[in-house]
Amino acid sequence: MDLIPLPHRMERAGGFFELGDGFGIEAGPGTEGTARWLRATLGAATGLALPPKKGDEYDVLHLSVRPGLDAEEYRLVVAPHGVHVQGGSSAGVFWGAQTMLQLLGPDAFRRAPLPGRTWRLPLTEIRDSPRFRWRGVMLDVARHFMPKDGVLRYLDLLAAHKLNVFHFHLTDDQGWRVEIRKYPRLTEVGSWRARTKFGHRASPLWEEKPHGGHYTQDDIREIVAYAAERHITVVPEIDVPGHSQAAIAAYPELGNTDVVDTTALSVWDTWGINPNVLAPTDNTLRFYEGVFEEVLELFPSEFIHVGGDECPKDQWRQSPTAQERIRELGLKDEDELQAWFIGHFDSWLTARGRRLIGWDEILEGGLAKGAAVSSWRGYAGGVAAARAGHDVVMCPEQQVYLDHRQDAGADEPVPIGFVRTLEDVYRFEPVPAELTPDEARHVLGTQANLWTEVMEDRARVDYQAFPRLAAFAEVAWSGLPAPAERDFAGFERRLAAHYGRLDAMGVAYRPPTGPRPWQRRPGVPGRPIDGPPPNR
């Protein structure tokens, strides 16, 4: 049973249960969504109608919520006369159904039945539950826009790997991707750039055509609802106060107008850290409150991500308006000014029953008590945040930034950063060893990040994400031993079967033998970094 992620406990008996034409579903209270999902997915793959059935009939899949199990815990029993999936909540039932789908074989992930195919499940009992409550993937759609159908497809891929948080990076210097009705120019102007750098920012290559797009509010509602059916929480990111040139291009008054001519700015067409940041004015605060009011209507998530990373302070140092604000607030320096800016939105979100989360730079200058941290610059930010009593999501760049290259070979397309092999990701440990048990309880979980500067379409995203995302999913879900003791050879054996599932789902993953000819990008320069990444 080549399951990914690896279940906590499996007991295999001899024999199989075969799904016949009369196979149906008994959906107990709280499991109706899983039954609906199975009829749409498993029904499409098998051609079975999966009608409602009663518990006293044969050939039944029994779905039920059982008290006594943790919320995401499930128990899957395949017996000679039927199948039982029990969960501590509707989410647990759904994860159990995902495991059942894997047991049926790769063709269960297709969208139409293959002729002559029979369907059977091995007689078995599986008990399983996740290690972390936050098992996330960040997708950057600001650098390269992914149309809505691609986002929905990625939610299916996350669900198939029992990942449950979709961090949706919606705004940056290179594009604003969510409709805000109060401020229409954010998408009318801010969602399109005139051209795009092809490769690393030092590359001489350009794609000389406009690039962009955005999601309407109804698109967002559809994405959020689609995710919820799969027990995935969508956490939106609206970047402040840096990474904001697209917003400033649309509304120049948001920038530091006393330092630069913001009316001359356009949506940025290259990569890197941009000096054009938001002005720390009341007008900017009121503007983004208007943005977040609409964001809160669209996204019911507990957490709202505000970015907070890579905010150069040069314009603030030169700005009389910013310097006056520092004096007026009695702040020490520009770092504390950023902390004040982030703190304003922390209080604003808290008053509305939400929680702020941001990249670990928000620790600089002090951090409001209720805020959480995405630790990306290694482990240090997460350690500092946990010790200060803040919740943490561990996503260190050197370990789980999947835009980093996966091999040192010359054919690796647009090689960025350190080599992070499949085995490196499998041996990633999210909880720093130096944390005490009380401090470690602040680690909500972990997240892999997909930044798309050099990923121009979904095939490139697939290549960078898979199969490493399968390894990451096992790290996030399964109670694996210490990194050096993990059975990577066993994972590779299970992955050999998992490639068939990825093939059935149409995933353009990196083969273990290296990139296929059409996956290479000859002549497109990247920025490889040699040697092992710092482990700090």
Range list of β-strands (E), 223-339:
233-240, 303-307
CB neighbours of 442 closer than 8 A, spacing ≥ 6? 385, 386, 389, 390, 391, 392
Between the alpha carbon of residue 306 and those of residues 119, 154, 349, 437, 460, the distances in Å are 47, 22, 11, 29, 27
Closest CA to 140 of 109, 98, 170: 170
Helices 458-465, 468-477: inter-axial angle, 10-degree rounding: 60
The sign of the torsion formed by the CA atoms of 19, 25, 26, 32 equals positive
If one counts every other C-beta atom within 10 angstroms of the C-beta of residue 320, the result is 10
pLDDT at 264: 98
Task: Give yes or no: 310 in active site.
Answer: yes
Give CA–CA dist 523/530, Å, rounded. 19
Single-letter residue type at 335: D
Encode pLDDT of 216-232 as tens digits. 999 999 999 999 999 99
193 forms beta bridges with 211
Task: Give yes or no: 73 in active site.
Answer: no
Give CA–CA dist 438/154, Å, rounded. 35
One of 172, 173, 391, 424 is an active-site residue; which one?
Answer: 172
Q: Where are the alpha helices (DSSP H) in 351-457?
A: 380-387, 397-400, 422-426, 437-440
314 forms beta bridges with none
Summarize the confidence of residues 333-351 as an average pLDDT: 95
pLDDT at 58: 79
> pLDDT-derived band of residue 366, with 50, 70 and 90 as boundaries?
confident
Q: Where are the alpha helices (DSSP H) in 59-108?
A: 90-103
* Joined tokens for residue 328: 């007026």
Which DSSP category does 512 fall into?
A: T
Encode pLDDT of 76-119 as tens digits. 999 998 999 999 999 999 999 999 999 999 999 999 999 989 99
Which DSSP category does 113 fall into?
A: P
Encode pLDDT of 302-318 as tens digits. 999 999 999 999 999 99
> pLDDT-derived band of residue 284, with 50, 70 and 90 as boundaries?
very high
If one counts every other C-beta atom within 10 angstroms of the C-beta of residue 107, the result is 15
C-beta of residue 9 within 8 angstroms of C-beta of residue 126: yes
Closest CA to 423 of 524, 509, 491: 491
Task: Give yes or no: 169 in active site.
Answer: no
C-beta of residue 491 within 8 angstroms of C-beta of residue 429: no
> pLDDT-derived band of residue 368, with 50, 70 and 90 as boundaries?
confident
Give CA–CA dist 337/414, Å, rounded. 37
Give CA–CA dist 144/524, Å, rounded. 17
> pLDDT-derived band of residue 365, with 50, 70 and 90 as boundaries?
confident
Give CA–CA dist 367/324, Å, rounded. 22
Closest CA to 474 of 100, 101, 130: 130
User: Is the pLDDT at 200 greater than 90, yes or no?
Assistant: yes
User: Is the pLDDT at 535 greater than 90, yes or no?
Assistant: no
pLDDT at 307: 97
Give CA–CA dist 291/144, Å, rounded. 22
Give CA–CA dist 406/419, Å, rounded. 5
pLDDT at 536: 67
CB neighbours of 77 closer than 8 A, spacing ≥ 6? 83, 84, 124, 125, 126
Closest CA to 53 of 33, 26, 31: 26
C-beta of residue 386 within 8 angstroms of C-beta of residue 439: yes
Give CA–CA dist 46/523, Å, rounded. 44
Phi/psi of residue 382, nearest 5 degrees: -65, -40
Between the alpha carbon of residue 99 and those of residues 4, 129, 225, 409, 536, the distances in Å are 8, 12, 22, 35, 35
> pLDDT-derived band of residue 57, with 50, 70 and 90 as boundaries?
confident
Report the mean per-residue pLDDT for the chain.
Answer: 96
Residue 222, CA atoms < 13 Å, CB-side half-sphere: 13
Give CA–CA dist 154/166, Å, rounded. 9
Task: Tell me the residue length of the chain.
Answer: 536
Encode pLDDT of 419-445 as tens digits. 999 999 999 999 999 999 999 999 999
Q: Where are the alpha helices (DSSP H) in 104-253?
A: 148-160, 185-188, 217-229, 245-250
If one counts every other C-beta atom within 10 angstroms of the C-beta of residue 297, the result is 11
One of 156, 309, 310, 411 is an active-site residue; which one?
Answer: 310
Give CA–CA dist 312/272, Å, rounded. 12
Summarize the confidence of residues 173-201 as an average pLDDT: 98
C-beta of residue 87 within 8 angstroms of C-beta of residue 95: yes
C-beta of residue 52 within 8 angstroms of C-beta of residue 164: no
One of 62, 84, 211, 243 is an active-site residue; which one?
Answer: 243
